[in-house]
Structure 1
Amino acid sequence: MRTKLLLSAALSAMLVFPIVSNAKTINGEKLAEEQVFTYRLLDDIKSFDPQINTDIEGSGVIRDLFEGLMNEDAKGGLVPGTAKGYSVSEDKLTYTFNLRDAKWSNGESVTAHDFVYAWRRLVDPKTASEYAWYMELMGVKNATKVVKGEVAPDQLGVRAVDDKTFEVTLEKAIPYFASMTVHSSTFPVLKSVVEKHGAGWTKPENIVGNGAYILSEYRSGEKVVRERNVNYWNNENTIIDKTVALVINDENQALTRYLAGEVDKTNIPSGQYPRLSKEYPGQAVSNPYSCSYIYWFNVGEKGPESLKDVRVRKALSYAINREVITDRILQGGQYQSYNFAHQKTAGFELPEIDYAGWTQKERDDKAKALLAEAGYGPDNPLKLTLNYNTSETHKKIAIGVSQFWKKTLGVDLTLSNSEWKIHTTKQQAGEFEVSRYAWCGDYNEASTYLDLLTSYSGHNVSGYSNPEYDEIMAESKTMENPNPNYAKAEKILARDMPFAPIYQYTGAIMLQPTLRGWPVDNLMQRFYSRDLYIVEK
């Protein structure tokens, strides 16, 4: 017996799409003649390959070029994508997705075989995807065995029942499984194109996608341009004709270009939200955003001996004055953080973390005592290097932390800046001591954060491994209410301190008054260009 789901959602989703093939107005507003959306990127895109990409900005581009089984609406609700809907078996271990009549940008039909190929490709050790572990988190049958090379990729629990029916078998029931399919690593790719062009298959002249847009131009470090895919199943109700992403490392320069009308969306530079919200009411926006800003401590083989001492790691974390960072440096409504999972995550109950309730003086005093116990002081100062990627905000925070550590603990800290690609490559190789990082949720559930610190995580670059932690997170997968385990996991992280939590994000951004459809109420801040449109001034 199967439980039918999302049939009504599929119908309602179709009803809310604006019919715009000949429309001149939407909601009483006249559409601008030129439908071009331009926004700022902080860094270059690492990859346009759904199974290879690892960064948030890359995922934003990939959501335009490809489409997965399910999408999110403006409030973060689950809506049909390439799948019209799905059904779930009575034991909740088998999901059957019914695909719509969608096409690739080259005119070929999108089939269940394309999803089978992509999902197998994700876990295939030959692909060397940093997101292979994601399919393990999804609980797909045999995912772990495939990732470890114990069985062949064709043993993964996915199959094409027929061209339009994609079936997934799970090893354990995961209530939020369907929502995990909105992540770009699960998007389909066309086997014939990948195999024909190899690593070059994502070049504009080669790439074939099933999303609302095609990649028309890419200049590394400069811009990414995508234009309407006329073969997209809902192209008739897509309004934006072209989306242009400009790589602008300097956030102040990006703001200047925004104010000149050159970009429609950009991030607000640190410290400027109070002013901009007064000067540009309605354009300056700050809403909770599912990301946590942290400093990794390298406790792995390549890490310094000093950081293998938990007293040192705790001292460094305690001595960070988070109130100064959120209220004086950032000033965009960000939350001081003493745990990992974003406090606005759906269903998450923020646990009590002991040092979160201390005054900063109490934290500083404890930090001094711990560092002294570990053998560091005026005659033996702790020396470390902090890596951060290019950004004025990251630089300001790094300078602030260096001052906290110097004043409170006498730490001799060297700051090392590099571009995003180099920065993350060093992290993955374990070539760092302390390193700036931010983790943004892949789906709206606390496990998207807490699974990151398991020993089998593909993104746990710290070298941290705790069997007790792994067991707690594994057990949470089968719990009706996993929050007690999430609280235990957070307290273990506070005890072991493999990273220093610093703050939790808000989406502090500027939006041009002519832009409509930006998902400000979506905690994940996932946008799709096909949902946006420009009205006349």
Structure 2
Amino acid sequence: MLKHSLAASALALAAASPVLADNPVPEDVTLAEDQSYTFWLLDAIKSMDPQINTDVEGSDVLRNLFEGLYNEDAEGNIVPGVAVDHTVSDDQKTYTFTLREDAQWSNGDPVTAEDFVFAWRRLADPATASEYAWYMELMQVENAPEIIAGEMPPEELGVTAVDERTLEVRITTPLPYFLQMLVHASTFPTHAATIEEHGDQWTRPENMVGNGAYVLDEHILGERVEMSKSDTYWDAENVVMETLTALTINDVNQGLTRYLAGELDRVDIPAGQFPRLKEEYPEQATSSPYSCSYIYMMNVGEKGPEALKDVNVRKALSYAIDRDIVVERILQGGQEPSYNWTHWATAGFEAPEIDYATWTQEERLERAKELMAEAGYGPDNPLDLTLQYNTSEDHKKIAIAASQMLKAIGVNITLDNYEWKVHTDRMQNQDFDLARYAWCGDYNEASTYLDLFTSYSGHNNGEFFNEEYDAVMRESKTAEDPLPLYQEAESILAAEMPIIPIYHYANVDMLNPQIGGIPTENVMQTWYGKDLYRAAE
């Protein structure tokens, strides 16, 4: 759990002397001759474009190829990236960032304030068709909603290059967590000339120009990503790890086998295997809180099944899922059962009292049967639904268990498995009944979860639209203490049940003990290759 408040992060940043970073290697460590790090990806990365990418694994790669205004350290504090400093106006609505003079693109061009202006306008521009355009709106950047809606040109966005080294950002509402939002990949700068020259092909290795600590050498979709240290990165002299390799392996068990064979330095532990691996490999098997929540999203929109428009049916489906079985018998890796949306370890968050969370599973199941009967369903008139999930043996195990649990209340579940891209495309097109979904926080504050179910969200694929919920979340942006409003939002979700919360994540990994610099105290689990090193055996 993150121990530093947002205020503490801001103070730490203000006190920093950010000309150069420190070398990440402790004095008592002897480095290995081979400075390479190979990590596991479950799915193919849909896009290497910072303004287009939507998934966590893509962000892990982009964080190494590009750099935003700020980064995070191992504890989750904000530390300088391209920006070395900033000032905030008295009304907390204008941020002025000073950019470092030695920041360069991989082709040698200087990184300027105009590069951020270009990227942010591009993100908000409807022509880009970014699923993350809404992020500009969440950041409260001036005119973002109108630009996203096509009512204003992108040039009206509240971001200005005062000069090459000075970036001004104007927001409409003070946000105490605004700086934390700047570590997200969608806010990273992009090189305008490269995009203009190559169009959609600009992210190919031979075309890409980035400003991160690494450059892209190879990307074979669904197979591997190869990155090597960039000579033009401003802090290249303190970057120890020479190469980063990501291998896409859809089978988690195969991933573990390849880790044990020495082909990977880090891999997720398959469901149910953490206790055994912790006993056999105590220095390698790790579990720590991770800001992600696992749910089944229900399609309550026009294209969704009629039955899911009945709140009693939705509640019955949720009540019938035995979270303890999922966590204690299937996963067994330190995850926690969830009855709400926001991850329990999110900074400053306290979940409200949710009635069904205090019931026994027998009480939940009995109430679920009653609600289904009231809705006209039961053993003699079962409800037929499909449950869609992306390829993973772990997701499959949970889906099979859920289908058996739902059968007990008269619901026949057909399981549909798709590769990640197809799965997410179908969700975006509302082509599903129930769908496995997980959200990992973009920053360590509850709004990163709760904004997702607003009507203006870019990821509200189940089309849960609720005016009261929207009003609560809009009010939270100006509240001195937003926690009561966040709790009210969670209570609305529990009352309307557009999702079935299942569990809150833990990061359950096998990690090569030679690899140093992986953060474990940051609930966001944000890592940078530039902070890693390989110690000698």
Short-chain TM bin: over 0.9
* Counterpart-to-counterpart distance in 2, 1:300 and 1:167: 39
| In structure 2, distance between residues paired with 1:282 and 1:477 | 43
**1:511 maps to what in 2?**
511
3-state SS of 2:379 partner: coil
Counterpart contact for 1:9–1:80, Cα < 8 Å: no
Query: What does residue 147 of structure 1 align with?
Result: 148
- The answer (yes or no) to whether the contact 2:12–2:77 under 8 Å persists in 1 is no
Asked whether the equivalents of residues 283 and 510 of structure 1 are also in contact (C-alpha less than 8 Å), the reply is yes
Q: Which of 11, 23, 34 is equivalent to 2:17?
A: 11
The answer to whether the 8 A contact 1:337-1:503 is kept is yes
Secondary structure, in 3 states, of the residue corresponding to 1:30? coil
Q: Is the 8 A contact 1:444 1:524 kept in 2?
A: yes
Query: In 2, Cα distance between the equivalents of 1:145 and 1:10?
Result: 37
Is the 1:105–1:214 Cα contact (8 Å) retained in structure 2?
A: yes
Q: Name the residue aligned to 1:226.
A: 227
Between the aligned partners of 1:487 and 1:369, the Cα distance in structure 2 is 28
Q: Spell out, residue by residue over 1:200-241, the C-alpha distance to the aligned partner (whole angstroms, 9 max, x if none).
A: 000000000000001100111110011111000000100111
Show the 5 A alignment for 1:376-525: 376-406=377-407, 408-525=408-525
Change (3 A) 1:135 1:503: same
| Structure 2 match to 1:192 | 193
Post-superposition offset of 1:410: 2.1
State the partner residue of 1:214: 215
Deviation digits for residues 247-279 of structure 1 (CA, Å, limit 9, x no counterpart):
011111111111111110000110011111111
Q: How does 1:281-300 map to 2 (within 5 A)?
A: 281-300=282-301
Supply the distance in 2 between the matched residues of 1:480 and 1:292 (Cα, whole angstroms): 26
> Following the alignment from structure 2 to structure 1, what is the Cα–Cα distance between the partners of residues 58 and 263?
21
Residues of 1 paired with 2:79 and 2:283: CA distance? 28
Structure 1 segments unaligned to the other structure (5+ residues): 19-24
Letter matched to residue 10 of structure 1: A
For residue 362 of structure 1, what is the amino acid of its counterpart? E
TM-score by length of 2: 0.97
Q: CA deviation at 1:411?
A: 1.1
1:344 aligns with 2:345: yes
- 1:139-178 → structure 2 map (5 Å cutoff): 139-178=140-179
DSSP-derived class of the 2:470 partner: helix
Contact preservation (8 Å) 2:214, 2:227: yes
- Provide the rounded CA distance (Å) in 2 between the counterparts of 1:415 and 1:515: 39
Q: What amino acid is aligned across from residue 425 of structure 1 in structure 2?
A: D
Question: Secondary structure of 1:504's partner?
Answer: strand
For residues 274 and 333 of structure 2, what CA distance do their matches in structure 1 show? 5
The 2-side partners of 1:96 and 1:253 are apart by 48
Partner of 1:90: 90
> 2:316 matched to 1:315?
yes
Whether the 8 Å CA contact 1:146–1:156 is kept in 2: the answer is yes
The code of the aligned residue for 1:447 comes to S
Q: Does 1:368 align with 2:374?
A: no
Following superposition, the deviation at residue 301 of structure 1 comes to 1.1
Give the Cα separation in 1 of the matches to 2:32 and 2:488: 53
- Distance in 2 between residues matched to 1:481 and 1:6, nearest whole Å: 22
CA distance in 1, matches of 2:249, 2:152: 44
Q: TM-score, normalised by structure 1?
A: 0.97
* Conservation of the 8 A alpha-carbon contact between 1:6 and 1:85: no
Equivalent residue number for residue 325 of structure 1: 326
Deviation at 1:282, TM superposition (A): 1.8
| Amino acid corresponding to residue 384 of structure 1 in structure 2 | L
Match of 2:276, SS? helix
Query: How far did 1:8 drift?
Result: 4.7
SS of residue in 2 equivalent to 1:416: strand
Q: Could you tell me how far apart the structure 2 residues matched to 1:372 and 1:79 are?
A: 56
CA contact 2:379–2:409 (8 Å) conserved in 1? no
Superposed CA deviations along residues 57-86 of structure 1, whole A, max 9, x for unmatched, are 000000000000000001111001010011
**How far did 1:404 drift?**
0.3
1:240-255 equivalences in 2 (<5 Å): 240-255=241-256
User: Partner letter of residue 35 of structure 1?
Assistant: Q
Could you report, residue by residue, the CA deviation over 1:480-520 in whole angstroms, capped at 9, with x for unpaired residues?
Answer: 11010011100100000111000000000111010100011
**Aligned equivalents of 2:259, 2:426: Cα separation in 1:** 33
Label 1:76 to 1:5 Cα distance change in 2 as closer, same or farther (>3 A). Answer: closer
Q: Which amino acid aligns with 1:440?
A: C
1:205 corresponds to: 206
1:9–1:79 contact (8 Å) kept in structure 2:
no
* Letter paired with 1:105: S
Return the alpha-carbon distance in structure 2 between the equivalents of residues 527 and 486 of structure 1: 28
Task: State the alpha-carbon separation in 1 of the partners of residues 124 and 463 from structure 2.
Answer: 22
Gaps of 5+ in 2: 1-9
Compared with structure 1, are the counterparts of its residues 434 and 217 closer, same or farther at alpha carbon in structure 2 (3 Å cutoff)? same
Residues 184 and 499 from structure 1, CA distance in 2 versus in 1: closer, same or farther, beyond 3 angstroms? same
Q: Secondary structure at the match of 1:523?
A: coil
* SS of aligned partner of 2:215: strand
- The 2-side partners of 1:55 and 1:351 are apart by 29
> SS in structure 2 opposite 1:332?
coil
Report sequence identity in percent: 60
| Of 9-18 and 52-61, the range deviating more from structure 2 | 9-18
Displacement of 1:12: 6.3
1:237 matched to 2:243? The reply is no
The alignment status of 1:62 with 2:68, answered yes or no, reads no
| Contact kept? 1:6, 1:86, Cα under 8 Å | no
Total equivalences in the alignment: 527
**Whole-Å separation in 1 of the counterparts to 2:14 and 2:382:** 64
Q: Please give the alpha-carbon distance, in whole angstroms, between the structure 1 residues aligned to 2:15 and 2:211.
A: 21
1:22 aligns with none
SS in 2 for 1:343: coil
Equivalent-residue separation in structure 2 for 1:10 and 1:399 (angstroms) = 51
How far does residue 16 in structure 1 lie from its aligned partner after superposition?
3.5
**Conserved in 2, the CA contact under 8 Å of 1:439 and 1:449?**
yes
2:470 partner amino acid: D
Runs of 4+ in 1 over 6 A off after TM superposition: 4-7
What SS is found at the alignment partner of 1:11?
coil
